[in-house]
Amino acid sequence: MTQEEQLRGSGARFRLKYLGNVAVECGMRDLQEETERDRIVQECIYMVCSHPDLKLVTERPADEQARNLIGNGPLKIANKTIDLVITATALTLVDGDPTSPTANQMLNKQMITNVSIATPGRGDLDGYIAYMVKLKGVDRRCMVYEANAATATAILALIKKAFSIINKSNGEPLLESPSTSQPPAPLGTTSRPSIGADYVARGLDKEPWFHGVLSRDTAEKKLLQDGDYLVRQSENAPGQYVLSGIQGSQARHILLIDDGKVRTRDQEFESIISLICFHRDRKIPITSEDSALTLNRPIPRSLH
């Protein structure tokens, strides 16, 4: 069975010790350098592992710069045996303690599209792994687990593969992706929206070029020539919106929301409508890593 078949099926299951999580105020996409993101996650791992309830690592001076970005949100210690189930769409925590009244029950489900960075601990934090995820609204948490090097490598590879499956199904990221990282170099994945999607998508239902929930294949059948475009709601990624268009006689799909915001490499927009109108009226292509879509002819919902 291939990784993709496994992830599209029942998923991969890992027995881990879930140590706890740290609330993080700073959005990962607000940081320009990959090293800054990794630094924050490493400090979150240290904060959990050095907590008085665990004392898993030797105390050291805090990384004050990272702490300032993390903020003063709550830190929660769990220290619980769980099964982490990874599928193409979600990370699911299942109670792995057979003596627990909630044994084998789902404790938490986190959409893959809300994960922004995953990395193993380094140096004195070797043996741990963490990832950043939006749980609800603006509640951003760094989830920390105990995991040996082989398990950490397998988990990171599967998260990366899950992101690639979602991108293949839904389109291309509008922005360069954040990462999963494992020594010696970071590996790119992606990050997707949270509650902000509702705000930035306001008014779309009144636009004739918005088609609601629509599959990639159906969208491509409506697009006939270069410059044709429509916006649709993703079937597989809740809260995500996709710009579908034609470039060089080939269909292209660009994800529009990143970390709850609509932004290109050069500019942030108040809403999806603002983004579309800005580029359409000025005849400026909307670009992603591999695409440059010019918005010439909107495809209305009534056109089949």
* Band (190; pLDDT cuts 50, 70, 90): very low
Torsion-angle region of residue 53: left (phi > 0), alpha (psi -120 to 50) or beta? alpha
Identify the CATH class of 3-170.
Answer: mainly beta
User: What pLDDT, in 10s, does the model give residues 106-131?
Assistant: 999 999 888 888 999 999 999 999 99
pTM of the model: 0.62
**pLDDT attached to residue 188:** 31
pLDDT: which is higher, 150 or 33: 150
Q: Is residue 303 predicted with pLDDT exceeding 90?
A: no
Mean pLDDT score, 143-169? 87
Cα–Cα distance for residue pair 128/145, rounded to 1 Å: 6
**pLDDT attached to residue 113:** 84
Mean pLDDT score, 280-284? 88
Cα–Cα distance for residue pair 71/108, rounded to 1 Å: 24
Mean pLDDT of the chain: 85
**pLDDT attached to residue 1:** 76
pLDDT over 90 percentage in the chain: 54
Mean pLDDT score, 164-186? 53
**pLDDT attached to residue 170:** 60
Burial of 228 (0-12, 13-18, 19+ CB in 10 A): buried
Fold equal for 3-170 and 204-298: no
Q: Is residue 195 predicted with pLDDT exceeding 90?
A: no
**pLDDT attached to residue 75:** 97
Contacts of 138 (CB under 8 A, 6+ apart): 194, 195
In what side-by-side order are the strands of the sheet with 115-120? 106-111, 90-95, 75-86, 12-23, 139-146, 128-136, 115-120, 179-182, 185-188
* Band (37; pLDDT cuts 50, 70, 90): confident
Cα–Cα distance for residue pair 128/108, rounded to 1 Å: 20
Mean pLDDT score, 163-186? 54
**pLDDT attached to residue 291:** 75
Q: Is residue 199 predicted with pLDDT exceeding 90?
A: no
Q: Is residue 189 predicted with pLDDT exceeding 90?
A: no
* Band (172; pLDDT cuts 50, 70, 90): low
Cα–Cα distance for residue pair 271/105, rounded to 1 Å: 39
Q: Is residue 282 predicted with pLDDT exceeding 70?
A: yes
**pLDDT attached to residue 93:** 97
Domain assignments of the chain as residue spans, ordered by start? 3-170, 204-298
Mean pLDDT score, 33-51? 91
**Check: CATH 3.30.505.10 for 204-298?**
yes
**pLDDT attached to residue 184:** 31
User: What pLDDT, in 10s, does the model give residues 216-266?
Assistant: 899 999 999 999 999 999 887 767 889 999 998 889 998 888 767 787 766
* Band (168; pLDDT cuts 50, 70, 90): low
**pLDDT attached to residue 193:** 32
Contacts of 209 (CB under 8 A, 6+ apart): 229, 230, 231, 276, 298, 299, 300, 301
